[in-house]
Amino acid sequence: MRVLTVRVLKNLGRRFGVPIAIVLTCLLGGLGYGLFKAPTYSATAYVLVVSDPDGGPAATNFAQAYGRLAALRETLSWAAKPIPAAALERSRAHIQASSSPDTPLVRLTASAATAMLSAELANTTADALVRYGNAHQHDTGVRVALMTQASVPLAPSAPNPPLNAAVGLATGLLLGGLVAATGVAARVREVVQTATAAARAEIAAEAEAGAGAGKKAKEPKEAKTKGSALTAEAGQ
């Protein structure tokens, strides 16, 4: 029983060793990324766009427009404590603004290496958007107000070890499945080619055998014809 089990395991290892190695490598890569990557913190502030008198469709439309403008250099420069020029381009890459098509609300999320910095960046962005929007109130007919400030996050938003491990496992299963499918396809081609070659050889052998049988059948007939000719000549 033990010998049989060892043989089965060896057979499985020969057939699926590469796909299994790929799955394990991707899984370990996902776990390593989740465990050793530097944490990232995210904080969110909300800005409300209000139109006179009741915040109707105009406010919602302007909220979507302000959501596209929130992370621009020109908008961020309106903050009471502007972001330093040296860090402005880097900071813009960590600011995400979104708005709802039904609500005049702009969601500002900032990511940073520390919890305090992420909250400061989100609040600076919100302050800049409020000042920028109110400076253009006479042109747009809407005003912008801070709804909620960003609070300091208590835990990092990334990495997420379970999620990273799941992504690594899924990637490994996909790649391992493709490799296994490629190996199966190669074996199927080999079997088909072998069967085709055997069939061709069998057909050639049958054709050769048929040609040999026809030749043997033709030789007695020719001999009989020559014998009859000789007999006729002797009778004459």
- Give 10-residue mean pLDDT values along the chain (236 residues): 53 59 66 64 93 70 91 89 73 86 92 89 93 90 92 76 63 65 60 64 69 57 51 52
Tell me, what's the pLDDT at 69?
Answer: 92
Last residue of a domain, one of 148, 179, 211: 148
* CATH code, domain with 88: 3.30.70.1130
Count up the domains in the chain and report the number.
Answer: 2
Summary count for the chain: helices (H), strands (E): 7, 4
Cβ-Cβ contacts under 8 Å for 66 (sequence gap 6 or more): 47, 49, 99, 106, 129, 132, 133, 144
Are 94 and 117 contacting, i.e. CB atoms less than 8 angstroms apart? no
Whether 32 and 78 share a structural domain: no
Between CA 111 and CA 88 the distance in angstroms is 14
Whether 16 and 82 share a structural domain: no
Whether 60 and 127 share a structural domain: yes
Asked if the structure places residue 165 within a domain, the reply is: yes
Between CA 78 and CA 124 the distance in angstroms is 9
Cβ-Cβ contacts under 8 Å for 98 (sequence gap 6 or more): 67, 106, 107, 109
Across 21-130, the runs of DSSP E, i.e. the strands, are: 41-51, 95-99, 105-112
With left for phi above 0 and alpha for psi between -120 and 50, is residue 141 left, alpha or beta? Answer: left
Whether 23 and 78 share a structural domain: no
Tell me, what's the pLDDT at 90?
Answer: 75
Query: 67 lies in which domain range?
Result: 41-148
Tell me, what's the pLDDT at 68?
Answer: 92
pTM of the model: 0.57
Between CA 31 and CA 29 the distance in angstroms is 5
Asked if the structure places residue 109 within a domain, the reply is: yes
Asked if the structure places residue 92 within a domain, the reply is: yes
